[in-house]
A and B are shown apart, each in its own frame.
Chain A
Amino acid sequence: AQSVTQPDIHITVSEGASLELRCNYSYGATPYLFWYVQSPGQGLQLLLKYFSGDTLVQGIKGFEAEFKRSQSSFNLRKPSVHWSDAAEYVCAVTNFGNEKLTFGTGTRLTIIP
């Protein structure tokens, strides 16, 4: 069965510092990978996705993620965080022809001045 692990429940970063959020997946087939961001009381907004091709993908709001098949990882990065980036970040995986997404439990990001 497929699974997604986000090992960090909560991360605190200073404004202007760099950020990396970890996501590991367990999947038999070629994965389609997603990062979503969820603000309190809100739905999920798609940040970026990887289906195939270049393993470094760029998303909205200055985020990027790198797919590393050998490590079964799809970590999210941002070179310099802003206070408005404080939110819950959720990694998800599916594959071609599969309707369902499997979600990680999320990482809550706190930004300090």
Chain B
Amino acid sequence: GAVVSQHPSRVICKSGTSVKIECRSLDFQATTMFWYRQFPKKSLMLMATSNEGSKATYEQGVEKDKFLINHASLTLSTLTVTSAHPEDSSFYICSARASGYDTQYFGPGTRLTVL
């Protein structure tokens, strides 16, 4: 149980385009989902927290207009990187948590490369 999927696993795009990454909880209802970014040899950096049906809460320094997060259902959250630039290239990981539980379950990650 507690499986989280992400799609796509890898994406390559041109600079200036937008990319959408999906995060799904497959066997539980996720009232809260989290989006992280991971740089090489660095720990996970929390970008934002989203609760189903509410606006996402962004961490300091994360541009909300650039990283659009939608958590429209209890099993799906999306991260859209708008007008992507090479510096946005990174490994993006989502996690999901059910209501009343304190354990986050992580997706397999999405490798974004912006040319």
A residues near B, CB below 8 A? 32, 34, 36, 41-46, 49, 51, 90, 94, 96, 99-101, 103-106
Contacts and interface: CB of A to CB of B under 8 A. Distances in A.
Given A43-B109, A104-B43, A105-B43, A96 B102 contact: yes
Nearest to B2: A46
21 contacts: A41-B91, A41-B109, A42-B109, A43-B4, A43-B6, A43-B108, A44-B44, A44-B106, A45-B106, A46-B106, A94-B102, A96-B102, A99-B32, A99-B34, A100-B49, A101-B46, A101-B104, A103-B43, A103-B44, A105-B42, A105-B43
B85 interface: no
Judged by DSSP, the binding face of B is: strand
Nearest to B6: A43
A104 B41 CA distance: 12
Interface residues of B, number: 23
Given A43-B93, A105-B43, A32 B102 contact: yes
A-B complex: 10 closest residue pairs judged by Cβ atoms: A43-B106, A44-B106, A43-B108, A103-B43, A43-B109, A105-B43, A43-B107, A43-B93, A103-B44, A32-B102
Interface string B57-79: 00000000000000000000000
A105 B45 CA distance: 11
B7 interface: no
Chain B CB within 10 A, most for which of A90, A96, A103, A104: A103
Given A43-B6, A43-B108, A99-B49, A49 B103 contact: yes
